[in-house]
Copies of this chain bind each other. A is one copy, B any other.
Amino acid sequence: MDVHEIPTPAPVIQWPAFEANLAAMSAARPGTSLRPHVKAHKCTSIAAAQAERGHTAFTCATPGEMLGMIDAGLGDDLLLANETVDPRRLAALAARQDDASITVAIDSDATLAAAALAGIRRCLVDVDVGLPRCGCAPSDAGRLADAARSAGLEVRGVMGYEGHLMMVPEHGDRRRQVSDAMAALAGAHAEVGGDIVSAGGTGTFDMYDGTTVTELQAGSYALMDTQYATLGLPFHHALTILGTVIAVKDGYAVADVGLKALGMDHGNPTIAWEGTAVWFCSDEHVTFGTGELQFTVGEHVQVLPAHVDPTMAMHEIAYVVEGDTVVDEWPIDLRGWS
C-alpha cells in the first residue's frame, strides 16, 4: 500500500523516527529501568516493539489497558499506575493473576480495601510528590504499606509521578525540582520497603542520577508531540495525523483533520510544512494560513498533534510508513474503558 492511499484522517508513524526514539531511550534507560507507559499510544504493537528492546515491564493507566496487554502476551510485569475502586474491573484483573504479573497502585484505605476485596495480590504505594492528583502524603506511605501487608498483599515499593515538573522549561531547573520531589519519594520508600521506586516521564528521562528511582514511566518519547518537542529532548516527531486538503482559499486552506482527530487540551496542532500557521480547528477541519505557499485540493498534509496520548486514543489504526510505503498497520487496541 502506498502512503497516498491511506484514508484520512489517520495516524501515521514514521518507522525510522520511531526506531530512533526507541533506540535513544533504550540507551539511556535500558531493560526494566524503563517501564514504558502504554497510555501514550494505546497500541500493543508499539508495546511489543518496546519489549523487543528489552523493556518487558509496562505501566498502564486503566484496567482495560492491563487486560489488553495480557491478551497480547505482554503481561510479564504490569503496573496499574492509577487508582480504581471498581469491584468488577479489579476482579477481572485478579482473575488473570496466574497468567500475568499484576501490580496496582494504592493511595488510601479505600483503594487498598477495594484491591484486597477483589483478591489483588500485589500493590505499590502511590505517593504524592507535588502534583495535585492521586498519591498519599509521603508521611502516610509507611502506614498504608503496613496495612496492605496486613491485608495479605505483597508491597513492591512506591511510585510518585512528578507530572507538574514535566514541562519546566529549563533543564537545570527541572532537574533540581525533580531531585527535591524524588527526595520526598525516597523518604516514603524508606518507610514502605520493596524493590521498586517508579517515577517520571519523557520530560525527565535523564534526571534520576543520584536518586533512588529504579524505573521510569515514560510513554510519549516513542511518538512525541509538539509540546514535548519544545524541551529539546533527543526524541523526534514519529507521529503525524495525515490529512487531505479539501479547500484552498485566498491565504488559507482547509484539511480534514479536526478536533475529533486530535487531542486539543494542549492547544492547536501544527501543519508540518514551514510557512503555514494553524488558525483553528472544527470537528472535522483544520483551517491554516498558507502565506505564499500553494496547496491543491486532494493533496495530503501532515498534522503534528500537540498532545500524543489523547490523539492516539481517537483513532482505530496507525499506519507505519517508510518513505512512501505503508509497511504495517497497527490496531490501536487499548482504547476505551470496558
Stretch at the interface among A48-56, A204-212, A221-229, A281-289: A281-289
> Does A329 interact with chain B (Cβ within 8 Å)?
no
In the complex, A338 has a CB within 8 A of chain B: yes
Interface presence of A9 (CB below 8 A): yes
Contact of A85 among B135, B298, B309 (CB under 8 A): B298
A107 surroundings in chain B (CB, below 8 A): 247
Binds B, one of A180-188, A230-238, A249-257: A249-257
Q: Give residues 115-138 of A contacting B (CB, 8 Å).
A: 128, 132-135
> A287 touching B133 by the CB < 8 A rule?
yes
Q: Taking chain A's interface residues, is the majority helix, strand, or loop, or is none over half, making it mixed?
A: loop
> Chain A, 242-268, contact with B by CB distance < 8 Å: what is the 0/1 string?
001011110010101001110111000
Q: Which B residues lie within 8 Å of A110 (CB)?
A: 296-298
Residue in A10, A84, A132, A283 whose Cβ sees the most chain B Cβ within 10 Å: A283
Q: Which residues of chain B are near A133, meaning CB under 8 Å?
A: 247, 254, 282, 285, 287
Interface size on A (CB < 8 Å)? 59
Once the chains bind, are A309 and B283 in contact (CB under 8 Å)?
Answer: yes
Nearest B residue to A5 by beta-carbon distance? Answer: B88
> Which residues A278-320 have CB closer than 8 A to chain B?
279, 281-285, 287, 296-298, 307, 309-310, 313-316
Assess the B61–A284 pair: CB atoms within 8 A.
yes
CB distance from A252 to the nearest CB of B (A): 6
Report the bound CA distance from A98 to B46 in whole Å.
43
Task: Name 10 A/B residue pairs within 8 A (Cβ), A-sorted.
Answer: A82-B285, A84-B246, A108-B297, A111-B247, A132-B287, A134-B246, A134-B254, A134-B285, A264-B264, A264-B310
Add 14 more A-B contacts to A110-B296, A259-B265, A283-B310 (CB < 8 A).
Answer: A7-B88, A8-B337, A9-B337, A39-B283, A39-B284, A61-B283, A82-B284, A83-B247, A111-B247, A132-B252, A260-B310, A263-B264, A265-B281, A316-B338
